[in-house]
Structure 1
Amino acid sequence: MTGTPRARARQQTMADILRIGREHLATHGAAALSLRAVARDLGVVSSAVYRYVASRDELLTLLVVDGYTELADTVDEALADVAADAHTEQFRVLGHAVRAWALREPARYALLFGSPVPGYHAPAERTTGPGTRVVVRLVRILGDAHVAGTLRIPTTVAVPDTLTADLGRIRAELGTGIPDAVLARGVLVWAALFGAVNFEVFGQYGTDTFTDPGQLFDHHLAVLAETVGLS
């Protein structure tokens, strides 16, 4: 922590509020988050907490940004040691990093990708940047593979002309040059990757269906890599 003693004290208090918020999220769920309960565990009166966090929704937003940031940092750290031209391996590592974080932090993952919290609407201006870091990294992998000439652009199913404008806008927002065929399949891969993680985190496969979910996930990643044209 840096800055004046007062600034450091504020930073520490905010860190404590987030820590307690994460604990309450895991214990009680997002819908039951309460600033009064956070204040109680922090050992202060509730009015003191309101000087740092204005409302329950503000606390939820802080936890959402915190979760997205930690997930993306986990992915970036996992990819740091992967060769720049090993695009398929990068995709595999990214997928496993997402799964590992989700299984380690199921309550925080649920806040990000589970059922919406009743009455709460995440402010896009604060959550979109952190929330898209992983998909931007995925698109970068596909873009690098395309530039390197190692991406087999799929042509078996044509992209409808009606999607051209939407895909063009997405391409501009992401700053990528990958063609529609790859970008459209990239959206499918993104949805399927998190769908597979959701099924495991939320127990949708059932308790006795797969004895080794990790092997199933490996297979899914290999199929998704093939789908998007990674060799």
Structure 2
Amino acid sequence: MSEQTISRRDRLRAATSAEIKVTAMKLLADGGPDAISLRAIAREMGMTAGAIYSYFATRDDLITALIGDIYSAVVIAAEAARDAVPEDNPGGRIMAWAQAIRDWAVADPAGFRLIYGDPVPGYRPPDDGPGKDAELRACTGLVGLVAAAWPAAQAVETAGHPYAWSDFDPGLVAHVRADFPDLPPAGIAVTLRTWGRMHGLVALEIYGHLRPLTTDPSTIYQDEIGDLIRSLGLRAVDQIDARNPGSTDLPTRR
């Protein structure tokens, strides 16, 4: 009986915590970062301010939890899309990862803005936690995509700037050198450029700058990622079937 009571209490607490997060994201979507406050959430949910503080002691604790949940979910989706493509198709894996990022952002623009856009006024992220773990996992995933493409990309990049490890954050360098010991410093530069190209058009779309100018932002995005893939010396396709991103039956752009 006692175990059943505790289990029910835990389920109710988890459900309320989830509702608090959903309400916070609704306030963010409707009113921007300034709209997130525990008191506002309590009013929306019909709770007392004291009751909501028993779930999240501070607004920053709630925001940290939101970032951790959202960031973890998008990384898992990107990894799943990548892993659905064979390892011997590095260009397809890059396209699948990028497409998963855009799909998530279009479906959850408030989540994209929370992670990659508008800072929440006064929010100070912790030095560690689920958000930092997911950020590192996303970064490692991107580096892995570049590392897999490096045999082809190296020939393209050797004429570029002679990067050194000291050009990059020491913590990032330590992870890259541990996980991808054969990747030179230029590999980090290519990773950062890859990240910028994956997210650039998405940010323009989410913030309303792209859609007034085109009826087909999806195709423009696919063409941009295709060009990115070709810039790495890899085979790219003109179009991608989102249900089968690993297909090699699609035409290449010459």
For residues 55 and 211 of structure 2, what CA distance do their matches in structure 1 show? 42
Are the counterparts in 2 of residues 34 and 56 from structure 1 also a CA contact under 8 Å?
yes
TM-aligned CA distance change 1:155 to 1:137, over 3 Å: closer
The Cα of 1:206 is off from its aligned counterpart by 5.8
TM-aligned CA distance change 1:80 to 1:206, over 3 Å: closer
1:72 aligns with 2:59: no
Are the counterparts in 2 of residues 159 and 180 from structure 1 also a CA contact under 8 Å?
no
Q: Deviations over 1:100-147 (max 9, x none)?
A: 11011111111111122221122231222112332321211222344x
TM-score (norm 2): 0.79
Residue aligning to 1:186: 191
TM-aligned CA distance change 1:182 to 1:18, over 3 Å: same
- The residue correspondences of 1:16-55 to structure 2 (distance < 5 A) are 16-55=19-58
For residues 156 and 172 of structure 1, what CA distance do their matches in structure 2 show? 22
Greater shift, 115-124 or 184-193, is seen at: 115-124
- The residue correspondences of 1:80-159 to structure 2 (distance < 5 A) are 80-126=83-129, 127-146=131-150, 149=151, 151-155=153-157, 157-159=159-161
Structure 1 residue ranges (4+ consecutive) displaced by more than 6 angstroms after TM superposition: none
For residues 155 and 19 of structure 1, what CA distance do their matches in structure 2 show? 44
TM-aligned CA distance change 1:206 to 1:81, over 3 Å: closer
Residue aligning to 2:66: 63
Residue aligning to 2:11: 8
The Cα of 1:165 is off from its aligned counterpart by 1.9
Residue aligning to 1:172: 174
The Cα of 1:168 is off from its aligned counterpart by 8.4
For residues 124 and 196 of structure 1, what CA distance do their matches in structure 2 show? 30
For residues 80 and 182 of structure 1, what CA distance do their matches in structure 2 show? 21
Greater shift, 75-84 or 100-109, is seen at: 75-84
TM-score (norm 1): 0.86
Q: Deviations over 1:155-201 (max 9, x none)?
A: 4533335x432348434223223122333112111122112210111
For residues 89 and 102 of structure 1, what CA distance do their matches in structure 2 show? 20
Residue aligning to 1:211: 215
Aligned letter for 2:115? L
The Cα of 1:152 is off from its aligned counterpart by 4.8
Q: Secondary structure at the match of 1:159?
A: coil
Are the counterparts in 1 of residues 21 and 66 from structure 2 also a CA contact under 8 Å?
yes
Are the counterparts in 2 of residues 154 and 181 from structure 1 also a CA contact under 8 Å?
no
Identity rate, percent: 30
Q: Tell me, which stretches of 5 or more residues in structure 2 are unaligned?
A: 236-254
How many residues are paired up? 226
Q: Tell me, which stretches of 5 or more residues in structure 1 are unaligned?
A: none
Q: Deviations over 1:44-76 (max 9, x none)?
A: 211011011012222211111121112112212
Aligned letter for 1:218? Q
The Cα of 1:151 is off from its aligned counterpart by 4.6
Q: Deviations over 1:76-119 (max 9, x none)?
A: 23234211222110100111110111011111111111122221
